[in-house]
Amino acid sequence: MMGIKYKPLAQVESHYDQLFADGHYNEAIEVMHTFLEECERDGNPYGAMIAHISIASCYYCSGQIESAFQSVLYYKQLCDEYGDQYEQYNLCHIQALIYDYEQNYYKAKSATEECIRLAGELNLPQELSKNYSLMSHLHIMTENYADALSAAQDALAIAEIHCSEDIYLHCQIYCSLATAYVYLDRLTEGTQILDLLSQNPFIQNSQLERSRYLLTKGTLMMKYGLLNDAITYFSEAEMIALSFNNHVLLKRIYFYNALAYEQQRQFEKAYYNLKKYVEKLEATHKEHLFSKVNELDIQHSMSIIERRANIDTLSGVHTRYYLESTCDAWLKEARQTKDHICCFVFDVDDFKMINDQYGHLVGDEVIKAVGQKCKEVMHEKDTLVGRYGGDEFVILLKNFSQEQIIEKANELFQALSNMTVISDRHTIQITISMGIVCNSSIIARKFKQLFSVADQALYMAKNQGKNQIVSLSNMNCKLANSPHPSS
């Protein structure tokens, strides 16, 4: 270890990024190992996740796949317990890289498409560019060169706007651009891109990127008919790729070297390289990580994280984000289908007093009990229960009749008002105030519009004495039902 003590994450990431950008992977790994030790000592799982994924990236880029995989396993274990949507994206990206290494390009493309979707949702332009670049590489590996060029151009457009200083990303993009141009016989453009690429520091510092660059340069020389130059570039690429035993890259180098020697009519050397190509082809099949993908169980981890992103951990009901996105989808469909969407909004009366008198842990027990009771009552199809925030909950119903809506509102109201919460020798009787609105009463194209009116009804219930239900429309206000069970 380097023996450097880090505390601020920004300082660690800045140092790591510089080392990574310079291709000093071993030093970058040491920095993150030091940071990881501090995170483990301080009980910081989120910093530990950053450390593991950063270490995995270094191992992957230096061709140490076994070590990269081990770091991924550690990362996955933490993700299962603490991961959020960003970790969901990271696992998806790892999945794409593993499938790429296995040469399972169909699945790699599918995973990369999901990464592109998630990066867009999470507003991560650098990751978006990175995945378009990866998609370009995957198209190259499947000989879809026009698609490869298009994806690389998309990656470059995003990178130039949002991450112009990321020389490593630009190195990858330019390599894919040059390769696509060469195989599309657009040799002038390919030459221009390779000239730009030769000035990128990563071409000298990263073994993987330099080997890829030399392979592309050699292929360009073959297109120009300069076979001796092509073989020189292929031979240098082979020496570098052998140093970190990258079977996938070596396989391609041997294949094109065999073609170059064949065109020179040096059949003995062509046969030798073709034989090496077959050996590497067999080696890559033997090294396939299908069993490890199963062991990693990425899909299982992603489902856990997706569920965590949609389920509020305290109450056990859906999150605000899930409520909003689902209701927006329902309302969009309703413009065509005329579906009846109803929104209940309620909160616990005097919840602040419960927190102040009994403490926040008891308040948390109340939230848990309310969430559980809501799930027990609102169990029918096309009902959705969610926690909006604090002690405020939202219920959504689709295609319930007016009579059914009143019945469910009263059932929920009575169930919650008759509920007592016992915690730490305290017995707490709660009441709620509820507001109701339906899309048949107001113009609502989004959840926020429906919620806003229901929330007004809730505040009216509060102002009228609490412990009651009020229904509102944008045209009038009426007390739909006002039960007052004993407190």
The CATH number that applies at residue 126 is 1.25.40.10
202 plus 85 within the same structural domain: yes
299 plus 322 within the same structural domain: no
Report the pLDDT value the prediction gives residue 57, as an integer from 0 to 100. 79
Q: What is the pLDDT of residues 175-203, one digit of tens each?
A: 999 999 999 999 999 999 999 999 888 78
Q: What are phi and psi of 226, to 5 degrees?
A: -90, 80
Tokens of 383: 């009902």
376 plus 399 within the same structural domain: yes
Q: Is 384 left (phi over 0), alpha (psi -120 to 50) or beta?
A: beta
CA distances from 107 to 73, 100, 118, 141, 293 (A): 20, 8, 17, 13, 12
329 plus 266 within the same structural domain: no
Assess if residue 430 is contained within a domain. Answer: yes
Report the pLDDT value the prediction gives residue 283, as an integer from 0 to 100. 66
Is residue 94 over pLDDT 80?
A: no
Q: What are phi and psi of 471, to 5 degrees?
A: -115, 135
Mean pLDDT of the chain: 84
CA distances from 222 to 101, 228, 230, 271, 315 (A): 26, 9, 6, 18, 65
Report the half-sphere exposure of 403 (CA within 13 A, side-chain side).
0
Instruction: Tell me the C-alpha distance between 220 and 285, whole Å.
Output: 29
In this predicted model, which residue has the larger pLDDT, 308 or 229? 229
Is residue 229 over pLDDT 60?
A: yes
Contacts of 439 (CB under 8 A, 6+ apart): 331, 334, 340, 341, 342, 450
Instruction: Tell me the C-alpha distance between 234 and 252, whole Å.
Output: 10
Confidence grade of residue 471 (pLDDT, cut at 50, 70, 90) = confident
123 plus 244 within the same structural domain: yes
The domain tally of the chain equals 2
Residue 429, beta-bridge partner list: 420
Report the half-sphere exposure of 179 (CA within 13 A, side-chain side).
29
In this predicted model, which residue has the larger pLDDT, 279 or 415? 415
Assess if residue 67 is contained within a domain. Answer: yes
Angle CA 135–179–277, to nearest 5: 95
Report the half-sphere exposure of 310 (CA within 13 A, side-chain side).
13
Assess if residue 234 is contained within a domain. Answer: yes
Where are the strands (E) in 292-399, listed by range?
Answer: 341-348, 383-389, 392-398
Q: Would you call 179 exposed, middle or buried from its count of C-beta atoms within 10 A (0-12, 13-18, 19+)?
A: buried
Is residue 316 over pLDDT 60?
A: yes
Confidence grade of residue 465 (pLDDT, cut at 50, 70, 90) = very high
Report the pLDDT value the prediction gives residue 487, as an integer from 0 to 100. 29
Is residue 139 over pLDDT 90?
A: yes
Residue labelled with tokens 């033997």: 286
Average of per-residue pLDDT across 358-383: 90
Assess if residue 1 is contained within a domain. Answer: no
**Number of H helices and number of E strands within the chain?**
22, 8
Instruction: Tell me the C-alpha distance between 37 and 43, whole Å.
Output: 10
Report the candidate in 388, 368, 378, 259 with the shortest Cα–Cα distance to residue 321.
388
232 plus 340 within the same structural domain: no
Report the pLDDT value the prediction gives residue 478, as an integer from 0 to 100. 41
Report the pLDDT value the prediction gives residue 470, as an integer from 0 to 100. 92
Q: Give the domain extent around 91.
A: 9-303
Q: What is the pLDDT of residues 241-297, one digit of tens each?
A: 888 666 777 888 999 999 999 999 999 999 999 998 888 777 666 555 544 555 555
Average of per-residue pLDDT across 153-178: 91
In this predicted model, which residue has the larger pLDDT, 315 or 307? 315
Domain final residue pick, 240, 269, 303: 303
Angle CA 369–370–372, to nearest 5: 65
Instruction: Supply the CATH number for residue 471's domain.
Output: 3.30.70.270
Instruction: Tell me the C-alpha distance between 300 and 374, whole Å.
Output: 28
Cα dihedral across residues 301, 119, 133, 17: positive or negative:
negative
Q: Strand pairing of 392-398 and 420-423?
A: unpaired
DSSP state of 430: -
325 plus 407 within the same structural domain: yes
Report the pLDDT value the prediction gives residue 341, as an integer from 0 to 100. 94
CA distances from 206 to 60, 236, 472 (A): 12, 14, 65
Assess if residue 2 is contained within a domain. Answer: no
242 plus 144 within the same structural domain: yes
Is residue 448 over pLDDT 70?
A: yes
Contacts of 280 (CB under 8 A, 6+ apart): 247, 250, 251, 254
Max mean pLDDT range (8-12, 356-360, 424-428):
356-360
Q: Is 300 left (phi over 0), alpha (psi -120 to 50) or beta?
A: alpha
246 plus 363 within the same structural domain: no
Assess if residue 486 is contained within a domain. Answer: no
Count of other CB atoms within 10 angstroms of residue 349 = 20
Confidence grade of residue 482 (pLDDT, cut at 50, 70, 90) = very low
Average of per-residue pLDDT across 421-437: 86
Report the pLDDT value the prediction gives residue 297, as an integer from 0 to 100. 54
Residue 469, beta-bridge partner list: 434, 481
DSSP assignment string, 287-308: T--HHHHHHHTHHHHHHHHHHH
- Of 184-193, 422-431, 463-472, which gets the smallest average pLDDT? 422-431
Instruction: Give first-to-last CA distance, the chain, whole Å.
Output: 64
Average of per-residue pLDDT across 313-327: 87
Q: What is the pLDDT of residues 32-73, one digit of tens each?
A: 999 998 888 888 888 888 898 888 878 876 667 667 777 877
234 plus 334 within the same structural domain: no
Confidence grade of residue 474 (pLDDT, cut at 50, 70, 90) = very low
Assess if residue 359 is contained within a domain. Answer: yes
Contacts of 75 (CB under 8 A, 6+ apart): 49, 52, 53, 56, 90, 91, 94
% the chain with pLDDT above 70: 86
Report the pLDDT value the prediction gives residue 330, as an integer from 0 to 100. 94
Contacts of 155 (CB under 8 A, 6+ apart): 129, 130, 131, 132, 133, 135, 136, 169, 173, 176
Domain final residue pick, 259, 280, 303: 303
217 plus 330 within the same structural domain: no
Average of per-residue pLDDT across 354-372: 88
Instruction: Tell me the C-alpha distance between 120 and 162, whole Å.
Output: 13
In this predicted model, which residue has the larger pLDDT, 208 or 393? 393
Report the pLDDT value the prediction gives residue 477, as an integer from 0 to 100. 40
Where are the strands (E) in 190-340, listed by range?
Answer: none
Domain final residue pick, 303, 334, 351: 303
238 plus 98 within the same structural domain: yes
Report the pLDDT value the prediction gives residue 188, as an integer from 0 to 100. 95
Assess if residue 308 is contained within a domain. Answer: no
